[in-house]
Amino acid sequence: MAERTDNGIKARVVLQQCLHARLQVKPPDAEIDAEWVEINRGMVIYICFFKGATEDIIPKMVTTLLNMKLCETSTGKYTSVLELPGSVLIVPQATLGGKPKGKGMQYHCIIGKDEGLKLYYTFVSLCQSELSTCQKTDTFTEVKHGTYGNRQVLKLDTNGPYTHLMEF
C-alpha cells in the first residue's frame, strides 16, 4: 500500500449526500423496539477523531464542512448544506481511523473513548447551532446524530452519494 504521512491529522471525515437516511440510536431489547433518527435531503457526516485531537479544531471543522459546496441544487449546480438548505446526519465511525496491518485493521491511532465522546458531542452541538442560526427559508432542516460507541445501523437512500474524504 502507498506510504503516507499521517502526521498532524486530527480528524477524518467521509461525506455522502442523501435523499433520506435513517440511523439506529438505541438498539432493541426484550421489551422495547429500537430507536431511530432520520433526515431527509442533506448530508451524512461519518466522523473519526485521532489521538491528539482537541476541542479547538471543532469550530473550523464545522464551518468548513457545513460550507463546502457539495450539495446539488435543482439546477445541477453545487452549494453548501447550509445554503441548500439541507439536513445533517452525523455518524460516529471510529473504523475510519483504521490502518491496515496484514489482513486486519489496527486502531492504535484513534482517540480514547472519553476524549472522543467529548469531541463528538461538541461537534454535534456546534453543527446544531450553526444550522439553526442559518435558517434562510421555510424549508425545515435539522441535525441528527448517532450514539457514540454504539453500532451505527444505517439505511441510506441517495441520488448519488458523491462521496468525499476530508481531513483536519
CB of 5 to a copy of itself, least distance (A): 4
CA separation for the pair 79, 64 (Å, rounded): 13
Contacts of 118 (CB under 8 A, 6+ apart): 55
CB of 9 to a copy of itself, least distance (A): 4
Residue 65 or 124 with smaller CB distance to a copy of itself: 65
CB of 71 to a copy of itself, least distance (A): 12
Chain residues that interact with a copy of itself, rule: CB under 8 A: 1-6, 8-10, 12, 14, 46, 64, 67-70, 78, 80, 91, 93, 95-96, 98, 100, 103-105, 151-168
Partner residues linked to 48 by β-bridges: 12
Q: Which residue type is seen at 131?
A: L
Cell of 101: 496491518
CB of 115 to a copy of itself, least distance (A): 18
CA separation for the pair 165, 168 (Å, rounded): 10
Residue 101 or 138 with smaller CB distance to a copy of itself: 101
Residue with cell 477524518: 12
Residue 1 or 30 with smaller CB distance to a copy of itself: 1
Residue 38 or 138 with smaller CB distance to a copy of itself: 38
CA distances from 33 to 4, 138, 147, 152 (A): 44, 33, 16, 16
CB of 117 to a copy of itself, least distance (A): 18
Residue 60 or 138 with smaller CB distance to a copy of itself: 60
CA separation for the pair 74, 19 (Å, rounded): 13
